[in-house]
Amino acid sequence: MKVKNYAAIIIFVSLTILATISLQVYWNIKNYKENKQRLINDVQIAFDNSTEYYYIEQSKENYIAFVNRDDSISEEQFMDDLKLDTVFKNYKAKRNRNKISKVDSIKSQKKSSVTTSLKISESKIRSAPDTNNLMKLDSKIIKNEKENDTKIVADTNPISKTNSSVLILRGKKATDSLLQIKDSRSRIVISMVKDSVAFNKLSKILDNELSRKKIVVDYSLEHFKLNTLFDKFKKNTSFKLVKLPLSTFSKSVYLPINEKLKISFSDPTVLLLKRSMIEIILSLLLSLSIVGSLFYLLRIINRQKKIDEIKNDLISNITHEFKTPITTISSAIEGIKNFNSVNDPKKTNRYLDIASQQLVKLANMVEKLLETASLESDNLTLDKEPINIVQLLKKNVEKHQLNTSNKTIDFISDQKELILDVDTFHFENAISNLIDNALKYGGPQIEVCLKSDKKRIEITVQDNGTEIDKNQHEKIFEKFYRIPKGNIHDVKGFGIGLYYSKKIIEKHQGTLELIVNSKNIFKITLAHV
């Protein structure tokens, strides 16, 4: 793979990962903001509903109605006979802490408004909504539970002899009584509320409303009159010193003029995260899947790049290894053909011996490549037999010592004889590859050691050469892998010796590992059976 193509792939994968993460972060932030606004709206609705319900309940508790019993009396006469000043004076004496906030005039549907005839400076009289709608405000209408409940609750004492036709209804049951008056009589309904807000009652109503919407927040309530703080309430004492970041005002139409109710509540981040947990997890899984897939793709591409490099290196090594014996054989044949005109048998045999040695070398290299292919396909079958492993190692060391003069190979064993079932040919080749590797890349001093106990056998091949880098410890056992030295091929080989040795040892149910501790140590561990 070309360097430019690989760099382009790296850039593309990096940009894709960055775009994926950016989009997921943007989507989650947007989703969080939308959920936050939705929760604020839910708090607003809950607060408005709670405020309306609170004022409705308060108006029911402070409720008085005047009903005309005599249909023959006109509305004007009814208002004149009512003597409102005396009624309100007596009522205010009993409710000196209450404030008249609303006066509802529920009239006959066929008659016009009579509000102009009222002379009440303390109250505001208006046409009330339909009686049926008014009655819906009370969720606890008591009917037919007792005999007295079926009767109209009224003030039995008439206001005066001249107005005995006026029926006075008070309190919550007044709404029930008005329901029983189904004709179109003239009536006046007055509801009164206190100047202050009973925060304890309002808080309970609000808690129920928030609980119904599954909202859990700390909050405080503030009552304003003419934009001046009149009273305040905090649900919990744990956040006295903490300023609640979110706030909103009630939009209820039941609030008196120039009065406001404000709710401040805590940041619902934890609540929002819980609500969005599924979306966050799905987003995270999607991002991890995409990023993981891209990294896996990049890993495959990188591995393919390394395989291409190893392949090119292998081709170069094979060309170099095969070229030498082929050239030598060609030279020997040319010598026989062109420089042996007298047909000297000794010279001919010498040329033939050189050619024969090079052909054996070629055959061994081809055999190694074929054995590597068989190891990869797991088609190699071992022919195990009991042998003295001490003698096998000793002969192997002596053979390599004869072929080298500038390095010393020592053999150390704590046993004189050790019988082990192994495939003699492959096991000897595996040991030979380790010694050959030490001769090629190691220092001048090489040691082959054998140690055994009742459980295991350890064979080590160590040299005092340059320490192998930690990053190369696992890679050197890969097929065709050689520690890179650029384009320098000062050491012959295909990079399959250590791979072959590891596979053979593993087929003998053993392990082969590299230990670097001031020396390069290849350790074989076998079970002592």
Share of the chain above pLDDT 70, in %: 69
- Confidence grade of residue 411 (pLDDT, cut at 50, 70, 90): very high
Predicted local distance difference test score (pLDDT) of residue 383: 87
Predicted local distance difference test score (pLDDT) of residue 33: 86
Predicted local distance difference test score (pLDDT) of residue 378: 64
Q: Mean per-residue pLDDT for 43-72? A: 80
Predicted local distance difference test score (pLDDT) of residue 446: 92
Predicted local distance difference test score (pLDDT) of residue 354: 85
CA pair distance 190, 67, nearest whole angstrom: 12
Condensed to tens digits (0 to 9), the pLDDT of residues 93-120 reads 544 544 433 334 333 333 332 322 233 3
Structure tokens at 521: 């140590």
Length of the chain: 529
Q: What is the mean pLDDT of the chain?
A: 74
Q: Mean per-residue pLDDT for 267-280? A: 80
- For the cut 90, the answer to whether the pLDDT of residue 140 exceeds it is no
Q: 2.40.50.140, 3.40.640.10, 3.40.50.80, 3.30.565.10: which CATH number matches 381-527?
A: 3.30.565.10
Q: CATH says 276-375 is which class? A: mainly alpha
- For the cut 60, the answer to whether the pLDDT of residue 29 exceeds it is yes
Pick the closest to residue 131 from 174, 168, 88 (CA basis).
174
- For the cut 60, the answer to whether the pLDDT of residue 437 exceeds it is yes
- For the cut 70, the answer to whether the pLDDT of residue 259 exceeds it is yes
| Higher per-residue confidence, 521 vs 187 | 521
CA pair distance 12, 10, nearest whole angstrom: 6
Q: Mean per-residue pLDDT for 25-53? A: 88
Strand-strand pairing, 445-452 and 408-413: parallel
| Domain parsing of the chain, residue ranges | 3-56+198-274, 62-194, 276-375, 381-527
Burial class from Cβ neighbours inside 10 Å (0-12, 13-18, 19+) for residue 146 reads exposed
Plot region of 267 (φ>0 → left; ψ -120 to 50 → alpha; else → beta): beta
Tell me which long-range contacts 231-236 makes (C-beta under 8 A, separation of at least 24): 231/196, 231/197, 231/199, 233/199, 233/200, 233/202, 233/203, 235/203, 235/207
Predicted local distance difference test score (pLDDT) of residue 492: 59
Condensed to tens digits (0 to 9), the pLDDT of residues 312-340 reads 777 776 777 788 788 888 888 887 777 76
Q: Mean per-residue pLDDT for 277-295? A: 86
- For the cut 60, the answer to whether the pLDDT of residue 142 exceeds it is no
- Confidence grade of residue 387 (pLDDT, cut at 50, 70, 90): very high
Share of the chain above pLDDT 90, in %: 10
Pick the closest to residue 232 from 258, 265, 261 (CA basis).
261
- For the cut 70, the answer to whether the pLDDT of residue 353 exceeds it is yes
Predicted local distance difference test score (pLDDT) of residue 143: 34
Predicted local distance difference test score (pLDDT) of residue 340: 62
Convert 351-384 to b/e letters by CB count within 10 Å (16 or more is b).
beebbeebeebbeebeebeebbeebeeeebeeee
- For the cut 70, the answer to whether the pLDDT of residue 153 exceeds it is no
| Higher per-residue confidence, 124 vs 218 | 218
- For the cut 50, the answer to whether the pLDDT of residue 415 exceeds it is yes
Predicted local distance difference test score (pLDDT) of residue 21: 87
